Amino acid sequence: MKRSMLNMLALSACTVAFNAHAQKFDGLAATPQMGWNSWNTFACDINEKLIRDTADAMIKNGLKDAGYEYVNIDDCWHGKRDEKGVIQADPERFPSGMKALADYVHGKGLKIGIYSDVGATTCGGHPGSRGHEYQDAQTYAAWGIDYIKYDWCDSKGLNAVGAYTTMRDAIRAAGRPMLFSMCEWGDNKPWEWAKDVGHSWRTTGDIYLCFDCEFSEASYSRWGVLQILDKQAGLRVHSGPGHWNDMDMLEVGRGLTEDEDRSHFAAWAMLASPLILGNDVRKMSDATKRILTNKDVIAINQDKLGIQAWRFMQAGQLEYWAKPLDNGEWAMMILNRSEQPTPVSYQWTNYRINDDMSKRVLDTTKTVFTWTDAWTGKTGDTSKKLESKLAPHGTIVLRLKARS
Ligand code: GLA
C-alpha cells in the first residue's frame, strides 16, 4: 500500500475515533435555561452598551435573583471575517470586542450567549457558520461565550441532523461547555433526533406578539401564544433534563394584556420550556416584574424532574393541564382560551388524573391535596369544589401537595 494511502487511512481512523467520542456537554440545562435575548425587542438594533445595561438591570430589578442567568445576543452582532476567516464583532456596535463584553457579564455573575446559523448567512444576512463551524466554536470559546443559539436560515441543501451535529462536535472540540440552543423551528422534527445533539430545540416558527393569531409573512407564518401551545401536542415524551422543547422567547411585558402575559408565562413554565425573556428589562412595569419574578411559577418550570405538562381535559374554552413535580407534588393550570370571562367549577374527586408517561396518578379520592394559587397566594384543598372565574385569556396556576 502506498504511503499516502496509509496516511489517509490513519487520518480517517482518527476522525472516526474522534467523532465516536464527540458528544454534547452534559450537566448544562439540567432544568430549562433561563435568561434574556435581544431579538424580540431590539432585532438588529443592538450594541455593547445595551448588553451591559441589560446585565446591570437584571441584577438591579431582581431577575438574576429569580434565576435568569444568560444574557443572549441574537442576530446582527457580526462584523466581517478576517483574512484567516476568523469572525469579528461589528467594530461600531461592539467596539470593545466580545471578550471584553463577556468579561463584563461574567463579572456580574451572569453568563453570555451568542447567535449563529448553519448557513453561509444568518437570517439577518450576516456571516453564518457554514464551513467555519470549528473555527467559530473556537472563537466563541476564546471569548468566553456560554451559550450558542444556532439558527436555520440559508440552510438549502443542508441535512439538519448533519448540520447541527457538526456544530455540536465543534463545540465539544473547542472544549468550553457552551449550552447549544438549536433554532431549527421544528422543520425536521429535532425532538426525534437531537437529544444527544442540543440542550434545547425550537419546536415552531417564530413567536408573534399576539395571544391568539397567525401572522403570515410571504413564505412562512409567525405564531401567537395559543398557536405555539397547540403545536406542542405529542412532544412531551421527548423533553427532559438537558434536552428541552423550546417554545421560543417570551413576549411578556411587550403589550399583551396582564392576564395574557400571566397565561403565556404560566404555559411556558408548565411545559418546561426555556424561559428566555424578550422584553426590555431596563424598563419594566411593576406588573411585568411581578409576573417574571413569580417564584412559584418559576419553581414549577424549574422542577428537577423536568416533566412537561400535558392537557388532560378540555371543557369548552377551558383547558386543564397537569405537571407532575418532585416530592409527589403536582402543578395544575386552568387556561381560558376565550375572550369572555368564564366560570370554573371543578370537582376534584370526579377526576383521576393519570399520566401514562411518568406513571404518576393524582387521585384526590384517596388523598386530599392542599393547593396554593401561584398568582394570588390563595390556598384551599381538594376536598372542596374549586370555584372561580377566569378573566378573558386568563389562567389559574395551582401547586398541589398531599395533606399530611
Ligand atoms: C430567526 C429566529 C429568531 C431570530 C431571528 C434573527 O427568525 O427564529 O428567533 O433569531 O432569526 O434573525
Q: Whose CA is nearest to atom 5 of ligand 1?
A: 123
The pLDDT confidence band at residue 11, using thresholds 50, 70 and 90, is very low
- The confidence score (pLDDT) of residue 22 equals 79
The answer to whether 160 touches 150, Cβ cutoff 8 Å, is: no
- Give residue 213 CA to ligand 1 midpoint distance, Å: 19
Taking residues 302-317, what's their average pLDDT?
98
Residue 1 predicted with pLDDT over 50: no
Atom from ligand 1 closest to the CA of residue 122: 12
117 lines ligand 1 (CB under 6 A): no
The answer to whether 379 touches 371, Cβ cutoff 8 Å, is: yes
Question: Count H helices, E strands: the chain?
Answer: 11, 22
Catalytic pick among 75, 117, 136, 151? 151
CA distances to 68, 210, 338 from 263, in Å: 19, 12, 12
184 lines ligand 1 (CB under 6 A): no
Closest to 102 measured CA to CA, from 138, 158, 57, 147:
147
| pLDDT 10s digits, 136-146 | 999 999 999 99
Paired residues of 110 in beta bridges: none
Closest to 199 measured CA to CA, from 158, 245, 232, 237:
245
| Mutation choice for ligand 1 from 38, 45, 115, 123, CB with most ligand atoms inside 8 A | 123
CA distance 351 to 316: 17
Length of the chain: 404
Closest to 129 measured CA to CA, from 101, 70, 169, 96:
169
Express as a percent the part of the chain with pLDDT over 70: 95
Residue 16 predicted with pLDDT over 50: no
Three-state DSSP class for residue 206: coil
The three three-digit cell numbers of residue 370, written as one number: 392542599
CA distance 343 to 341: 7
- The confidence score (pLDDT) of residue 12 equals 47
DSSP state of 141: H
The answer to whether 304 touches 326, Cβ cutoff 8 Å, is: yes
Three-state DSSP class for residue 330: strand
| pTM of the complete model | 0.95
124 lines ligand 1 (CB under 6 A): yes
**pLDDT: is 256 or 6 the higher one?**
256
Atom from ligand 1 closest to the CA of residue 115: 10
Residue 298 predicted with pLDDT over 50: yes
CA distances to 55, 178, 276 from 103, in Å: 12, 15, 21
Catalytic pick among 136, 146, 169, 206? 206
The answer to whether 104 touches 71, Cβ cutoff 8 Å, is: no
Is position 280 annotated as part of the catalytic site?
A: no
Between 16-30, 222-236, 353-367, the lowest mean confidence (pLDDT) is in: 16-30
333 lines ligand 1 (CB under 6 A): no
The pLDDT confidence band at residue 245, using thresholds 50, 70 and 90, is very high
Is position 151 annotated as part of the catalytic site?
A: yes
CA distances to 28, 315, 348, 360, 387 from 345, in Å: 41, 11, 9, 24, 5
